[in-house]
Amino acid sequence: MDIAITEAAARKIKERIAGKNGYLKLKYDTDGCGCVVSGVTALWLVNELDSDDREIKTDIGSIYTEKSKEVFLDENLKIDFSEKANCFQLKTPNEYLNPRMSFFDKTAGR
């Protein structure tokens, strides 16, 4: 899997994690969605990794994904940031997987 980060997204990610310790995850969240195929992707900053997490190296550092949820992602992903919508976006070469992707700080030092 390859994850490209645009300059706009890199700048916003760096702002959000400045001065904090943790791991950046591309989380496929299914809580409250009804079933596993109705999940929503989001960026999470977490204190610890899970045993199922896989490291993906990017230009801005490592991003982790859950191996068991990669079936819902594409082999080539791009994380962008929309200034107009003030949110992150997850794209593939063919579609938006999440045009309004949230960033959640799940670390203790919020």
Tell me if residue 98 falls in helix, strand or coil. Answer: strand
9-60 confidence digits (pLDDT tens) = 999 999 999 989 999 999 987 665 545 556 789 999 999 999 999 999 999 9
Specify the number of domains making up the chain: 1
Return the CATH number at 33.
2.60.300.12
Entry pTM:
0.88
Domain assignment of residue 110, yes or no: no
23's tokens: 């791991």
Q: Which domain holds residue 66?
A: 2-105
Domain assignment of residue 77, yes or no: yes
DSSP 31-75: TTSSSGGG-EEEEEEESS--TTEEEEEETTEEEEEEGGGGGGS-S
Domain assignment of residue 31, yes or no: yes
Distance in angstroms (rounded) separating the CA atoms of residues 62 and 60: 7
